[in-house]
């Protein structure tokens, strides 16, 4: 009986390790395969930005490109010129203001379970040098905004739903979101999916920030 239990435990561990290895290899492979087009800058192009904190990518839109009704609902500061949009695991977002506060239980839950999500909005007063610019056509911007809007959970009147007292600073806020977080649908997969849908060059699929940024190099 004891030998059978040991054998079963060993097989289970090996199966988990094999699954993780397969996930990593598939992530690396699909992250390297490009799809979509990298537009050149022209007078008719719009410019948006992406930024990674080393793990997580946000999409950043200039004030002029955010519809007025959405801008007002998201309550930006008076000097805000750019707004960053991120989507991710709600528990991870709210319980981990800094990497030093990351708990193993939070990380495991985010990766192994289908968990609730939140939208993270950050205000910026000026463009930063570590942002990556992305040039897009008017129709691409239209569909990107449609995708971002559809990621917010909506109240009875169609309004966004802010999570009270959840921001890290006075220039960021969290909102209830649609969808579930998993190993297959990560914060970076959300950005990658948006870019794929509108035809911006990105990876076929990626859970990593590098799978997005590498394809945006001019």
- Residues above pLDDT 70, as percent of the chain: 83
Q: Is the confidence at residue 101, as pLDDT, over 60? A: no
How is residue 213 written in tokens? Answer: 């940024």
Three-point CA angle 192, 194, 200, nearest 5°: 80
**pLDDT at res. 21:** 76
Q: What is the pLDDT of residues 117-132, one digit of tens each?
A: 999 999 999 999 999 9
Between CA 145 and CA 94 the distance in angstroms is 25
Q: Is the confidence at residue 157, as pLDDT, over 80? A: yes
Between CA 177 and CA 182 the distance in angstroms is 14
Q: What is the pLDDT of residues 49-79, one digit of tens each?
A: 999 998 899 999 999 999 999 999 999 999 9
The full set of domain ranges for the chain reads 33-216
Model pTM?
0.88
Q: What is the mean pLDDT of residues 35-39?
A: 89
How is residue 201 written in tokens? Answer: 């060059």
**pLDDT at res. 26:** 84
Beta strand 57-62 with 82-89 is antiparallel
Q: What is the pLDDT of residues 161-175, one digit of tens each?
A: 999 999 999 999 999
**How high does pLDDT run on average in the chain?**
89
Q: What is the pLDDT of residues 174-193, one digit of tens each?
A: 999 999 999 999 999 999 99
Q: End-to-end CA distance of the chain, in Å?
A: 61
Residue 32 CB contacts under 8 Å (≥ 6 apart), including other chains: 203, 211, 214
């Amino acid at each position: 009986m004891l030998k059978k239990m040991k054998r079963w435990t060993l097989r289970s561990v090996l199966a988990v390790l094999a699954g993780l290895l397969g996930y990593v290899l598939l992530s690396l492979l699909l992250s390297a395969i490009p799809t979509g087009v990298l537009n050149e800058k022209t007078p008719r192009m719009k410019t948006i930005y992406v930024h990674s904190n080393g793990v997580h990518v946000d999409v950043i839109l200039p004030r002029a490109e955010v519809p007025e009704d959405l801008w007002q609902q998201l309550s930006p500061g008076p000097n805000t010129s750019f707004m960053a949009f991120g989507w991710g695991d709600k528990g991870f977002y709210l319980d981990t203001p800094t990497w030093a506060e990351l708990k193993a239980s939070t990380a495991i839950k985010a990766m192994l379970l289908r968990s609730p999500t939140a939208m993270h909005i950050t205000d910026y007063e000026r463009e930063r040098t570590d942002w990556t610019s992305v040039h897009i056509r008017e129709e691409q911007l239209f569909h990107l905004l449609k995708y971002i809007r559809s990621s917010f959970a909506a109240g009875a009147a169609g309004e966004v739903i802010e999570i009270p007292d959840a921001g890290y600073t006075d220039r960021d806020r969290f909102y209830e979101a649609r969808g579930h977080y998993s190993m297959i649908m990560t914060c970076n997969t959300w950005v990658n999916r948006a870019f794929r849908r509108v035809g911006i060059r990105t990876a076929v699929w990626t859970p990593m920030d590098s799978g997005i940024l590498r394809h945006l190099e001019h």
